[in-house]
Amino acid sequence: MVNKLVNRECSIAKRVNIVSVKIVKESSILYKERRVKSPQDGYILIKGFLEDKDREHFIMVALNTKNEPVSINVCHIGSLNSSIVHPREIMKVAILSNAASILVAHNHPSGSVTPSIEDIQVTERLKQAGELMGIELLDHLIIGDNSYLSLKEKGYI
């Protein structure tokens, strides 16, 4: 009888993993401006990650309280003309980087920097998620052929 009771309790129990989470540094770059003070500064920092890509890449830059970049993460690589981005993927890395604020950017392989409705919608969702979590969305840049557009300067943030 005792053996049946032990077996029954074991079959009901759920094994729960004990985990830890950390960021793994893949490499680093030098950023001579040191701080992001304008959309132009953000563009200088991230253009090398996004120019000349044949598909959309969406990246997030985590910044500390002095607007110094602490990490850059390629959050998503999409198709020729779209990239599906969810705020949780952006905020996960921002939290692990101890970000006070974030700058996001993506490229348009067509070369045009005109924002799509989806670009505007994801910006609004990231802004709302950031407000909830205490991580400010500084800007969303769209990178094209040797040019960029700041959604903050256009009034979307």
Tokens of 65: 């309280």
Is residue 19 assigned to a domain? Answer: no
Q: Which residue has the tokens 């998620």?
A: 129
**Which CATH number does the domain housing residue 80 bear?**
3.40.140.10
Q: What is the extent of the structural domain holding 125?
A: 27-150
Is residue 17 assigned to a domain? Answer: no
Q: Is 50 helix (H, G, I), strand (E, B) or coil?
A: helix
Structural domain count, the chain: 1
Average pLDDT in the 143-155 region? 94
**What is the band of 68 on the pLDDT scale with cuts at 50, 70, 90?**
very high
Residues near 154 by Cβ (< 8 Å), separated by ≥ 6? 115
Is residue 111 assigned to a domain? Answer: yes
Is residue 133 assigned to a domain? Answer: yes
Mean pLDDT of the chain: 89
Is beta strand 69-77 parallel, antiparallel or unpaired with respect to 101-107? unpaired
pTM of this structure: 0.84
Q: Residue 13 has what pLDDT?
A: 87
> Could you report the per-residue pLDDT of 82-134, keeping only the tens digit for each?
667 889 999 999 999 999 999 999 999 999 999 999 999 999 999 999 999 99
Q: How far is CA 17 from CA 14, 29, 53, 95, 127, in A?
A: 10, 35, 39, 21, 33
Q: 6 pLDDT exceeds 70? A: no
